Chains A and B, each alone.
Chain A
Amino acid sequence: MEVKVEGGDESANASYSRICQNVFREIGLHGNIDNVYLYCNPSEHVFVISVKIGRVPRPITVNDMTLRGDNRLKITDEKYAPRLLALLWDKFGDRVKQLSRLEITVDVGAKDMEELMKMVVYEPRADLNIRILDAVDRILPEGARVRYPLPSPGRVTIIASENPISEEWKKRVEEMVTLERGGL
C-alpha cells in the first residue's frame, strides 16, 4: 500500500503517513488498498482523503463454504455460518433446520437446491466499503465532521471540514483526484 500525504508541514505529513499505514493495518485492509492520498489544508480546515481499492476477493457462495449431500449441507468454513443461516432462514423459513453445529437440512427440490448452491453468502466488496469508511473516519481529524463524498470508479474520495464545503473546493478536489489517478 502506497501512502502520499501533502499540504501540511513536514512533521504533520510524516505523522499522518504513519497514521494511515497503522490504521489500514489495524483494520486488516492493508492488502486490499492500492494507494491512499491524503491532502491536508489546516489553515482552511479542509482535508481530502482518496483511497484506491485494489484487488478484492471474489464473492463467497454457498458452494464455496459447504459440502452438499442431497438436501443436507455440511459447513466447511464456520466463519460464514451465521451469514449462511440468516440467508437461508430469510429465503426458506421453517424449511431450514440446523441439525448440529455444522449440519443443515433444507427441505427443497433438487432444482431449488442447485440454485441455492449459487447464492452469495458474503460479498467482500460491500463489507470493504464499510471498513474503508471506518478507516477514513479514524484517519481524518475528529473536528472535520462535515463530509462530502466524491464518487469515482474504484476509488473512495471524501472531503472533510468543520465548515460547509464550498463548490470551489469540490472542483479543486475533483481536479486533484483526476491528477492523482493519472499519477498513481
Chain B
Amino acid sequence: MYKIMMFSGGVYKFNELKELTQDIGGFILQEMVMQMETMLHLAFPAEEEKVIRNKVKEIGGKLIDLPLAGAEIMIVVPSLGRHHAVNPMCDIAEFLRRKGAITNMMGLSRGVGKRIAQITVEEKRIIEECDAAVFIFGNFRECIEDKARLCEGLEIPYIIVGGPPELDIPHYVGGIGRKTERMKRKHEIENLEKMAEGLRAELDIRRREIEEDPLAASPLFLKELIDMTIPPKPGEEFSTIIHLDGLRVKLEPGEEKIIRDIEIQNRKLSEICEIKKSLYEGYLLKILPEAETGRVF
C-alpha cells in the first residue's frame, strides 16, 4: 500500500529525494519549486517510510502526512448563492486541500429550504464520481435532520456538517454552520479537524476494502503511464486526478482512443479499466480488481 506525504523544504539536494522515491518504487505526484522553496507530494510504499524520513532528515525539510491524499472530495451546498459561499464552503475546501485531497464544489439546483429541498439523480451521479462528499446543511437542527434524507442511498462515504454541536444523525460533524466570516478561530479549526478526521476514517474503510480485493494496477502507476503518453498541457493543473480505485483524466476530443490503447505488460488499459465519460469533467477510469482481470504484472 502506498503512503502519500508532502515534503516542504529548500532546493538543496531535493533531486536526490526525488530519485530515491523513484528508486524505491514510489511516484512524484506534484512538484512545485518557488525560487528557493520546494514542495513535493510523494507516494511511496508504506514500509519504506523510514528510508524517506532519513533522507529528509539529511537534506533538511519537513515531511507532512496527507491523510486525505489520493481522494477527490465533493463539497455540496444547497445553492451557490452568497448564503453559503464563500464561507463556509471555501474554508472547508481549503482545509481539505491542505490535508491532501482534491476538492470540487457543487451547488444543488433545488437544495434550499427544508421541505422543498431536493437532489436530482444526475446530481447524485456526479457526487458519486468522487471518492467522498461533504454536505453543508446550515444552522437549524430541524432542517439538518430533515435534509439528511438527500444523502440517503449515496454509494460513497459522506459527512454532513451543520451548526448544532451534536445531532443524532449518522456521519454528522457540528460547529460548521452558516458563516459570514472566515473560519480562523481555534475552535473553528478544531471543528474542521474533526470533519477531516471523520472523512479519513470513512476513506480508510474503503482503502482497506480495496486492499482485501486488490486492483489490477495502482492508480498512481496508471497516472504516470497516462502522463507519459499524453503529457499535461502547459499551465494545466491536475490533468489526471487520482481516485482511490481509479482516475479522472481530462482529455481533448479524440484522445480517448489513445488512452484505451495504452499497453500495460501484454494488456491494454481498456482491458483492466472501465472507461466512461464523466458527467462533470473528463473521463473516469475505474480500475477493475485483479480477481476479475487476472494478474497483470
Interface on A for B, CB 8 Å cutoff?
Answer: 8-9, 11-12, 15-16, 18-19, 22-23, 26, 40, 42-43, 45, 138, 141-145, 162-163
Contact = CB atoms under 8 A, between A and B. Distances in A.
Would you list the 9 A-B pairs with minimal beta carbon distance, nearest first? Answer: A143-B113, A42-B140, A22-B180, A143-B112, A42-B142, A142-B112, A162-B113, A12-B139, A142-B83
Nearest to A16: B139
Contact of B163 (A11, A22, A162): A11
Most buried by B among A16, A18, A142: A142
Contacts of B143: 42, 45, 141
B83 to A, nearest CB: 5
A15 to B, nearest CB: 5
A89 B274 CA distance: 68
A144 B78 CA distance: 13
Contact of A9 (B78, B83, B141, B175): B141
A22 B83 contact: no
B177 A15 contact: yes
Given A12-B141, A12-B163, A142-B83, A162 B180 contact: no
A41 to B, nearest CB: 9
- Interface residues of B, dominant DSSP: loop
A40 B178 CA distance: 14
Contacts of B142: 42-43
Interface in B149-192: 163-165, 174-175, 177-181
B28 interface: no
Given A11-B165, A12-B163, A42-B143, A19 B178 contact: yes
B116 A143 contact: yes
B50 interface: no
A23 B140 contact: no
B122 to A, nearest CB: 21
A163 B141 contact: no
A45 B114 contact: yes
B26 interface: no
Nearest to B147: A143
A42 B114 contact: yes
17 contacts: A9-B140, A11-B175, A12-B141, A15-B178, A16-B139, A16-B178, A19-B180, A22-B180, A26-B180, A42-B141, A138-B83, A142-B78, A143-B78, A143-B116, A162-B114, A162-B116, A163-B115
B280 to A, nearest CB: 23
A108 to B, nearest CB: 46
A142 B114 contact: no
B81 interface: yes
Given A12-B140, A15-B139, A22 B113 contact: no
Given A19-B178, A45-B113, A143-B112, A9 B82 contact: no
Contacts of B164: 9, 11-12
Interface string B133-145: 0000011111100
B140 A40 contact: yes
